[in-house]
Structure 1
Amino acid sequence: MLEILFRSRAVDILLALCEKSMSVRELISKVGGSATTVEQRLRELKEAGLIEEDVSKGFPFRRELRLTERGKEVAKNLQILRSFFIDELPLKRMIWPLLTLYVVGEIRGKTKLQKLVFLLDKELNIIKDQGYNFVPYKYGPFSKELIEDVEMLILTGLVKTEEEVKEFNGEEVTIVVYKLTDRGKNIARKAYNELTDEEKRRINKLKEFNARSARSLTAYVHSKYPEYVAK
């Protein structure tokens, strides 16, 4: 059930319905995003037992959405979690993915996210302490802690995700796009302004890496850091 909360608009939907029940149209207007994405999240949240809906029998037909008791409990816990971390981070190391996103604007896909934070450490030498443990993986360096931290940043409202559907080898593939929320930008901006001019010069090289395709970036990391490729 927890996995659904990391998907685009899921938390926004729960928090919106925590305020009051509303129609699908009202909800889309409230949380933003495409109607397709919101409808997909609604199906998943219903399957998880977090929301339910009533459909009016007469014309005009109206779908009224509301939280289940379980959904209310989850939404309440999310509100408490966000109230604790308005201007600070649960862990100091979480500033690194925030800074990475602040510099590049957005990151398409988990593979790029892993590679960019890895390069922030190993190539640009920005991370001095409280970093991530990267291990060899078939796609190059991988950090489980980084994925877990980004998921926490989503729950605390500092990072948001969008979804892009693209065709790859004749099949539709969903790509997660990571972005900072306004609160996330505020925290990252403070950290960025504390960097030296030399550190700012180096960290801005992330823009060049992010401009590469995921395949090109992976190839670069594989060639320069072969010890992080699983045999």
Structure 2
Amino acid sequence: MGNPIEIDDAIVLLLGTATHGATSGEIRGITRLEKLIFLLERETSSKDWLQQDAGFEAYNFGPFSQKIYQAVDTLAAAQLIEDSSSLAPDTMDSWEEREVIGPNSGSPGDRINPYTTRDFHLTERGWRYFNALKQELTPEAMVELQNFKRQFAFLPLRQLIRYVYSRYEEFTTKSLIRDEVLGTGG
């Protein structure tokens, strides 16, 4: 491995990794992306190749990393990803952004409607970058990434969040939605 693989690179790798039954090159929702990076750091051998930590901390909606938000803004500015917004099928994907970042944060995802979600797609330039990044990983790491994406990327968002909350309770101590997610009366 010659070049360091950082958080923005991990996002590109997750986006581009092909998996059966899914459109390659996209992840729908910033919350989904954030929870995927969280799980990638904890449930794969990514520590062997990921040379930057996302710096997750317990926050209002479970594990939170400002680095994820900064990375997608950087990737969009570099025209490696397209950061589009669309109406969210439910409000779960917009919790963090409304409460932590806010709808008028100055990011490319500025929205009038607070119930929109940010969807990410690799651009043509992003695909070229993905192919270069792939060469930095071992074939085993790419297979693991593919299996990881197959397991987690297409779960319904509520199920993904519930999985994170139930497995990593230490990141839910400040959560405003813990009882709702885990179904505990409080």
TM-score interval (norm. to shorter): 0.5 to 0.7
Q: What SS does the aligned partner of 1:136 have?
A: strand
Task: Name stretches of at least 5 consecutive residues in structure 2 with no aligned partner.
Answer: 18-23, 92-112, 175-186
Which TM-score applies when normalising by structure 1?
0.55
Partner of residue 200, structure 1:
142
Partner of residue 217, structure 1:
160
* Structure 1 position 135, deviation (Å): 0.5
Q: Is the counterpart of residue 123 in structure 1 residue 43 in structure 2?
A: yes
Larger Rg over CA atoms: 1
After superposition, residues 1-231 of structure 1 pair within 5 angstroms as 92-103=6-17, 105-127=25-47, 128-166=50-88, 168=90, 173-204=115-146, 205-231=148-174
Higher relative contact order (CA 8 A, sep 6+): 2
**1:155 maps to amino acid:** A
* Structure 1 position 189, deviation (Å): 1.6
Identity of aligned residues (%): 30
* Structure 1 position 165, deviation (Å): 1.8
Q: In structure 2, do the counterparts of structure 1 residues 136 and 201 end up closer, same or farther at CA, with 3 Å as the change threshold? A: same
In the alignment, the residues of structure 2 paired with residue 95 and residue 167 of structure 1 have an alpha-carbon distance, to the nearest angstrom, of 28
Task: Name stretches of at least 5 consecutive residues in structure 1 with no aligned partner.
Answer: 1-88
**2:135 maps to amino acid:** N
**1:115 maps to amino acid:** K
CA deviations on 1:16-67 (whole Å, 9 max, x unpaired) are xxxxxxxxxxxxxxxxxxxxxxxxxxxxxxxxxxxxxxxxxxxxxxxxxxxx
In the alignment, the residues of structure 1 paired with residue 54 and residue 25 of structure 2 have an alpha-carbon distance, to the nearest angstrom, of 21
Q: What SS does the aligned partner of 1:141 have?
A: strand
**1:227 maps to amino acid:** E
Q: What SS does the aligned partner of 2:127 have?
A: helix
Q: In structure 2, do the counterparts of structure 1 residues 151 and 166 end up closer, same or farther at CA, with 3 Å as the change threshold? A: closer
In the alignment, the residues of structure 1 paired with residue 131 and residue 62 of structure 2 have an alpha-carbon distance, to the nearest angstrom, of 29
Aligned residues of 1:107 and 1:178 also touching (Cα < 8 A): yes
Aligned residues of 2:84 and 2:118 also touching (Cα < 8 A): yes
In the alignment, the residues of structure 2 paired with residue 156 and residue 183 of structure 1 have an alpha-carbon distance, to the nearest angstrom, of 9
Which TM-score applies when normalising by structure 2?
0.67
What's the Cα RMSD here? Answer: 2.4
Higher-helix-fraction structure: 1
Aligned residues of 2:6 and 2:51 also touching (Cα < 8 A): no
Aligned residues of 2:7 and 2:67 also touching (Cα < 8 A): no
